[in-house]
A and B are shown apart, each in its own frame.
Chain A
Amino acid sequence: MKQNKSTKHRPQTKPNNSKNKISGSGFFSKIEGYRDQHAHALFSSLGRMVASPFASIVTIVVLAITISLAGGFYMLVVNVQQLTGSLEDSNQISLFLKDDVSDAYAAEFADTLKQNVNVQSVTIISKEKGLQEFETYSGFGSAINALEVNPLPIVVQVLPKDTLVDEQSLIALFDELKRSAEVDQAQMDMQWVKRLQSIVAIAKRGTTLLALMLAIAVIFVTGNTIRLEVHNRRDEIVIARLVGATNSFIQRPFLYNGFWIGFVSGVMAWFIITIMMLILKQSVEKLSALYNDAFKMLFFSYSETFVLLGISCLLAVLGSCAVLQFQLRYTKLN
């Protein structure tokens, strides 16, 4: 409704269209007008937001935090998921020997294991070496030093033959090794990979539920903001109605307002998540070094960014739309 202050220079209509333009209400003129109307509503709503930033800033911050909660959990799941992916092919078996087994006996035990046709290689991690590794990587070194005896068991790591790919035979080997008299506990890495995978599956479902709740919150918060905006501009709506504005015309600036709220919130949420991930990056990379850099932190891809913004805009417009359907019907003219 607001006019551009300076009359914009517009490109001349091509000569072959000119006969349609004579009346001033020809087809091309109509299209032009329709486009003007939309462009106008789009930018005047942005202008209005920029002109009175405090009206929308609270909403936008609340929405940005809400969206970044959902998006942040999503990124967490994505990252943990790729971690389980990179670990999937490692199926090392760790045998924790009983406490009374000596180093010499452990070496003997390892030798017998090497005879097994299904075994590729065997590594012994002595109590001392285990302690050393623990000190370097866990950060609990001083706590361990306070203990008088080394609490760690001797660990024998068994790598099954590459030919042993199916789960059945792996489990058979695992059970066989576990039954040995020297072995206290046995662990196949695959198990915790599996466990991690199921945790990720739960986390995924949880994130979906959370995202759904937060999506509803976004719809309501935007809806409420638009409701207030409609209330503030009641006079304008009434006047527009009286001069023959259709509902869709009256709705348009409010819908675009909702769109901008969603868009700006989405962009802000993107930055919030990305900055938080950058803060975490260093510690994650340290951790990753423990696993031969198996893990690289994943940030938003282009398509994920697009989807994030798209969903933000969509939800905000949806909220605005719902409120407008209701509000405009009950805005009486007298």
Chain B
Amino acid sequence: MLKFEHVTKRYHETGDVLKDVTFHLQRGEIAFLTGHSGAGKSTLLKLIALIERPTRGQIILDGHSLNHIKENQIPYLRRKMGFIFQDYKLLQDRTVFDNVALPLVITGQSHHDIARRVRASLDKVGLLGKERQYPLALSGGEQQRVGIARAVVNKPPLIIADEPTGNLDPELSAEIMTLFESFQQVGVTVLIASHDLFLIKKLNHRVLTLDHGQLIAS
């Protein structure tokens, strides 16, 4: 499903942030990406999202190398992934419904289809009935669940989360993790960057560990 082959990322200012990273995630697999702050976790996820391009090596998604994706094809590729962020990245002046609907609206689906799928997605994260609310009126855990509902609303085969529980207390974090596990059970591949070692240990999943840009355990 997702393969990194000798991927190196060099920034002009900071040098090699990722060094010769190689791993393979199977379809339907759930994995944690961990490591100290500044280890390169976010950078690795940005390469998958095509926000950044690798300096060397290649990333293969679903059998296709991302190196050959042209600038104007990137949006279509991103629709196959769901992104979840530590700061939720919700539109504060839009309702929960509008926020979750965004990935569907951009693909040009009809109102009818959008409404149906948004409700299904909100139902999955346990927020049905909050469609009309604005993100600021929700708790942190709820906001993150809105972010998750948005990430999965168009049923992407790959979910990528960057410190999704970074702003949440352990209890809420556990809830969020349970959600991710439920997506995995329906065949979605999930990659979660996190430095919450306690949580990671509790859940018995694959762990990729980065140290100064090098993958030291996978």
A interface residue numbers (CB < 8 A to B): 1-4, 7-8, 10, 24-25, 29-30, 32-34, 36-37, 40, 235-236, 238-247, 249, 333-334
Task: Please give me the residue from chain A that is nearest to B103 by CB atom.
Answer: A243
Instruction: Tell me if B111 and A25 are in contact (CB < 8 A).
Output: no
Instruction: Tell me if A244 and B110 are in contact (CB < 8 A).
Output: no
Which chain B residues border A247 with CB–CB below 8 Å? 72, 75
Say yes or no for B137: interface residue by CB 8 A criterion: no
Give CA–CA (A229, B201) in the complex, Å: 46
The number of residue pairs between A and B whose CB atoms lie closer than 8 Å in the complex comes to 86
Give CA–CA (A29, B116) in the complex, Å: 14
Give CA–CA (A244, B112) in the complex, Å: 21
Which chain A residues border B49 with CB–CB below 8 Å? 242
Task: Please give me the residue from chain A that is nearest to B117 by CB atom.
Answer: A24
**What's the dominant secondary structure at chain B's contact region?**
helix
Distance in Å: Cβ of A232 to nearest Cβ of chain B: 11
Give the contacting residue for A32; candidates B89, B95, B98, B110; CB below 8 A. B110
Interface 9-residue window, one of B19-27, B28-36, B76-84, B185-193: B76-84
The answer to whether A2 and B98 touch (CB under 8 A), given A25-B109, A29-B109, is yes
Say yes or no for B91: interface residue by CB 8 A criterion: yes
The answer to whether A4 and B111 touch (CB under 8 A), given A240-B102, A240-B106, A243-B102, is yes
Instruction: Tell me if B113 and A24 are in contact (CB < 8 A).
Output: yes
Instruction: Tell me if B113 and A249 are in contact (CB < 8 A).
Output: no
Interface flags, B108-132, vs A, CB<8A=1, else 0: 1111111100000000000000000
The answer to whether A33 and B109 touch (CB under 8 A), given A242-B89, A243-B150, A246-B75, is yes
Task: Please give me the residue from chain A that is nearest to B78 by CB atom.
Answer: A244
The answer to whether A8 and B91 touch (CB under 8 A), given A240-B106, A334-B51, is no
Say yes or no for B101: interface residue by CB 8 A criterion: yes
Distance in Å: Cβ of A151 to nearest Cβ of chain B: 76
List 13 interface pairs A-B (beta carbons < 8 Å), by A numbering: A3-B101, A29-B110, A29-B113, A33-B107, A33-B113, A36-B108, A36-B110, A242-B89, A244-B77, A244-B103, A244-B107, A245-B75, A245-B102
Instruction: Tell me if A10 and B98 are in contact (CB < 8 A).
Output: no
Give CA–CA (A244, B107) in the complex, Å: 8
Instruction: Tell me if B110 and A242 are in contact (CB < 8 A).
Output: no
Which chain B residues border A333 with CB–CB below 8 Å? 51
Give CA–CA (A36, B114) in the complex, Å: 11
Say yes or no for B180: interface residue by CB 8 A criterion: no
Say yes or no for B64: interface residue by CB 8 A criterion: no
Instruction: Tell me if B106 and A243 are in contact (CB < 8 A).
Output: yes
Say yes or no for B183: interface residue by CB 8 A criterion: no
Distance in Å: Cβ of A331 to nearest Cβ of chain B: 12
Which chain B residues border A334 with CB–CB below 8 Å? 46, 51-52
Which chain B residues border A240 with CB–CB below 8 Å? 102, 106
Which chain A residues border B51 with CB–CB below 8 Å? 333-334
Distance in Å: Cβ of A69 to nearest Cβ of chain B: 37
Give CA–CA (A241, B75) in the complex, Å: 7
Say yes or no for B10: interface residue by CB 8 A criterion: no
Give CA–CA (A40, B85) in the complex, Å: 28
Which chain A residues border B78 with CB–CB below 8 Å? 241-244
Give CA–CA (A2, B103) in the complex, Å: 12
Give CA–CA (A24, B113) in the complex, Å: 7
Which chain A residues border B76 with CB–CB below 8 Å? 244, 246
Instruction: Tell me if A3 and B97 are in contact (CB < 8 A).
Output: yes
Instruction: Tell me if A239 and B105 are in contact (CB < 8 A).
Output: no
Give CA–CA (A333, B46) in the complex, Å: 10
Task: Please give me the residue from chain B that is nearest to A235 by CB atom.
Answer: B91
Give CA–CA (A32, B109) in the complex, Å: 7
Give CA–CA (A24, B115) in the complex, Å: 12
Say yes or no for B94: interface residue by CB 8 A criterion: yes
Distance in Å: Cβ of B94 to nearest Cβ of chain A: 6
Which chain B residues border A238 with CB–CB below 8 Å? 89
Give CA–CA (A34, B111) in the complex, Å: 10
Distance in Å: Cβ of A94 to nearest Cβ of chain B: 73
Interface flags, B14-58, vs A, CB<8A=1, else 0: 000000000000000000000000000000001001011000000
Give CA–CA (A150, B35) in the complex, Å: 107
Give CA–CA (A33, B75) in the complex, Å: 18
Which chain A residues border B52 with CB–CB below 8 Å? 334
